[in-house]
Amino acid sequence: MSRAAYGPIVLREAQDVRDWGRALASMLRAGDLLVLTGDLGAGKTTLTQGIGAGLRVRGEVTSPTFVIARVHPSLGDGPDLVHVDAYRLGSIAELDDMDLDSSLEQSVTVVEWGEGMAEDLDDNHLAITLIADPATEVREVQLRTSGARWSTPAVRAALSALADESHDESVGLAGEVS
């Protein structure tokens, strides 16, 4: 199985996380699985809000902690967004019981707190780790890809460009924080 890593991507504030999510959405397609990892307040839902905006989906993207999963239908001809919060799930079996694999091919699926569980839904996935500096709003983002979907030259180039974008002051993102 093909794997690659990208980062660190440094984002100075919450709006930068949203903007980066919107940029990431431009390369996503139906069938993509994203597994988000990070402590409370690291920016997982904020990133998903940006992805939702980039995909042009209906409804405000909020944390699905208490409902476990929300489906945001596309407002256009793009894929729906399935937003899952696995924080309260106790096992892979509980995640499997949600039948996410039945909608995986028709939507972009984002699973917060899914590390160690959601990867089993599909061999092709993008793992995104967000690390927040507790003293600031700065986030460091690390990407890990798995599977053929993420290993094509075009996708690798797009992910590299997204990683490099954080170093471009013109888009409001910064590569180094002093």
Supply the pTM of this predicted model.
0.85
Query: Does the pLDDT value for residue 167 go beyond 60?
Result: no
- The whole-number average pLDDT for the span 73-90 is 87
Domains of the chain: which residue ranges? 3-167
Calculate the CA dihedral of residues 3, 37, 6, 156 and round it to 10 degrees.
60
CB 65: neighbour CB atoms within 10 A? 13
Q: Are 137 and 88 in contact (CB under 8 A)?
A: no
- Average pLDDT in the chain: 84
pLDDT of residue 173: 35
- How far is residue 51's CA from residue 147's CA, in Å, rounded to a whole number? 21
Q: Are 24 and 159 in contact (CB under 8 A)?
A: no
What's the token pair of residue 168? Answer: 């471009």
pLDDT digits over 11-67, tens only? 999 999 999 999 999 999 999 999 999 999 999 999 999 999 999 999 889 887 667
| pLDDT above 70 as % of the chain | 81
| Higher pLDDT among residues 118 and 178, named by residue | 118
Which architecture characterizes domain 3-167 according to CATH? 3-Layer(aba) Sandwich (3.40)
pLDDT of residue 97: 61
Calculate the CA dihedral of residues 116, 57, 72, 95 and round it to 10 degrees.
-10
- The whole-number average pLDDT for the span 90-103 is 62
Alpha-carbon Rg for the chain, nearest whole angstrom, is 15
- How far is residue 74's CA from residue 106's CA, in Å, rounded to a whole number? 11
Amino acid residing at 67: V
CB 146: neighbour CB atoms within 10 A? 20
- How far is residue 70's CA from residue 64's CA, in Å, rounded to a whole number? 6
Amino acid residing at 60: E
